[in-house]
Amino acid sequence: MTVPLQTRQGLSSSWLADVDLARIVQAVGTPVFVYSAEQLRRNLDRVQAAAAAAGLQDRVELYIPFFPNSNPHLLATCREAGAGILLQVPAEYKLLRTHGFEKFIVSPGHVSDDEIAFWADTGCPTFLSSLDEISYALQANAPLIGARIDSLNSGKPGVKLDELGRLAQLVADYDRDLDCFEVYCGSGNTCDDMIEVIKTLFSMFKKHFPHVQAVNFAGGHGFSYTEWEEDAKHFNWHTYLGALRQIMEDMKIPDHVRFMFEPARDMLADTGALVLSLKRSIISNPVANIVVTDGSRMLMPSAQLRDRRHNVTFLDGRMQEITADEGQWAAIRGRTILRHDYLLPGEYWVPDGVDAESFMAVFDVGVYCATQHMEFLNVPPAAEVLIDETGEANLVTARGDEFDKWRHLLPAKQPLPLSI
């Protein structure tokens, strides 16, 4: 069979082409997540340049979500670029403080009173997701009152649209103003969708919360996993922020109101690639053709869950890309016995020449991949390597060793304390 047109591009359209993969694999083995600080810098610069072009550089604030990647060494680039970090749980705050991060906002989901008190003590703007939680923050006299609004009326945490009048009344009852609100509007939206969302948020501002200091547009800015070229993959911030400027003027949004954004996918997805070893030549049986890798679906669980077709390429034992025109379609298996242990949904085009000495790279794994995986059915988690902006490769997360699954197992049974 001859290579289908849409699979022709490969390594050369990624920063990974300039990385000495042979050295990394020799040093830390596979599977390994490789990240590029330079790519993250480019992604942040793209937004900051678009904000400047729209004359909004002093009003646009970026807060990159920590939970979709969670490696402070990679996210250090955000800190250096002046971007803050969006947090979700207290441990993230404690960890990032030890890494020198200071600029945070918090979107914690639904939480206990104790956790609301924790965040109030930090002074970080916190977006609470129900009237009940906001009521507690008001009673506790939290320094800032923030609300997370679910504009889709979905199952995600957030004050629902029908509750906005009650929210405004609740805050007024305590003689306070809402300081800021964050609006969830789904993920993977087009630029046109997101421009419509701007109008929705500004209408909420005008109708219910005209005294907030900041409007938080959250995430949802689309990123294409199936495109190869950078321009085609990324959200068009230039058009988007230009439209924001226009709508802001048309709707007479006051000059002091700041605009927050929490993009994860568009900032982080193409900063990461996953490199796997192949363990055998393709297995062909009456049911399927199978590529056997040393990965597992738990390295990137949302690919299967969301039916996400990440781009991939295959490399030979010397890390040269295999570009043969002939090949076959095959499923990409992980290394456990589990029936559903396929790394990626569907089948992928595998060129002739791929064999037990080969490697495979999966692109755009900088979000919701290493952050979600763990030792899975006794297979240890992968290493993480960061290529810094000088091109130097550093190990930033050690590979779990073969006994990782049992790292907390006690050598002997330990009686529980008798008095509880």
Binding site for ligand PLP (CB under 6 A): 65, 86, 107, 187, 218-221, 262-266
DSSP code for 244: H
- Whichever of 91 and 287 has its CB closer to ligand PLP, that residue is 91
Beta pairing class for 214-216 and 180-184: parallel
H/E element holding 36? Answer: strand 32-36
Residue nearest to ligand PLP (CB): 219
CB–CB of 55/95 below 8 Å?
A: no
Shortest Cβ distance from residue 236 to ligand PLP (Å)? 14
**Interatomic CA distance for residues 133 and 128, integer angstroms:** 6
- Whichever of 270 and 375 has its CB closer to ligand PLP, that residue is 270
CB–CB of 21/15 below 8 Å?
A: no
Shortest Cβ distance from residue 341 to ligand PLP (Å)? 25
- Whichever of 264 and 274 has its CB closer to ligand PLP, that residue is 264
Question: Which positions ≥6 away from 391 have C-beta within 8 Å?
Answer: 18
Shortest Cβ distance from residue 43 to ligand PLP (Å)? 11
**Interatomic CA distance for residues 415 and 84, integer angstroms:** 45
- Whichever of 303 and 379 has its CB closer to ligand PLP, that residue is 303
- Whichever of 133 and 262 has its CB closer to ligand PLP, that residue is 262
- Considering just the CA atoms, what is the radius of gyration of the chain in Å? 24
Shortest Cβ distance from residue 86 to ligand PLP (Å)? 6
- Whichever of 27 and 232 has its CB closer to ligand PLP, that residue is 232
Question: For residue 61, what are the β-bridge partners?
Answer: 260
Shortest Cβ distance from residue 263 to ligand PLP (Å)? 4
Q: Which of 244, 271, 203, 266 is nearest to 51 (CA)?
A: 244
Shortest Cβ distance from residue 48 to ligand PLP (Å)? 16
Shortest Cβ distance from residue 267 to ligand PLP (Å)? 7
- Whichever of 10 and 146 has its CB closer to ligand PLP, that residue is 146
Q: Checking phi first, is residue 298 left (phi over 0); if not, alpha (psi -120 to 50) or beta?
A: alpha
Main-chain phi, psi angles of 101, to 5 degrees: -85, 145
CB–CB of 133/111 below 8 Å?
A: yes
**Interatomic CA distance for residues 98 and 227, integer angstroms:** 37
